[in-house]
Amino acid sequence: MLNVGGSLPEVSFGIIKDGELINPHTNALFGDKKVVVFGVPGAFTPTCSEAHLPGYVALADKLKARGVDEIMCVSVNDAFVMDAWKKASNADEIIMLADGNAVFTKNIGLDMDTGTFGGTRSLRYSMLVEDGIVTQLNVEDPGRFDVSDAQTMLDSL
């Protein structure tokens, strides 16, 4: 599993930008920036949609006021689902990163097998990444939502 002080793996993500699918790589997204990233098991799932994403939407301005350049959400979904979730959640301040084949999630060791629920998904987590290096990592135990929320991240900055 990825640890504090570790580098993010160089992979590509799917993002819908101006109605078009683009595939930026890790370095383009995280290089020379201070980024809050949070990972969720799935777009439109209950805790993700009712608490995790809304918390980051509500506190986006406060996180950015503390020096955060970008806030990004990662899920093992396709870019079109992530874009629809962004629109449905009024999450304009959040960059939605689609990790459709779980390449990123597996490379950082934060994947889980949910069986018939959806196969390989992400554990719930948050991290602070500075110039591609993880400086803070909060990983939830399965089924929990205690340490990866936006308020915990804001309090730690």
Q: Which residues belong to the active site?
A: 48
State the DSSP code for 2: -
Which two tokens mark 2? 């990825």
Amino acid present at 81: V
For the chain, where are the E strands, in sequence order? 15-17, 20-22, 34-40, 70-75, 94-98, 111-113, 120-122, 125-130, 133-139
* Environment class of 67 (CB within 10 Å of its CB; exposed 0-12, middle 13-18, buried 19+): exposed
Q: Are 45 and 53 in contact (CB under 8 A)?
A: no
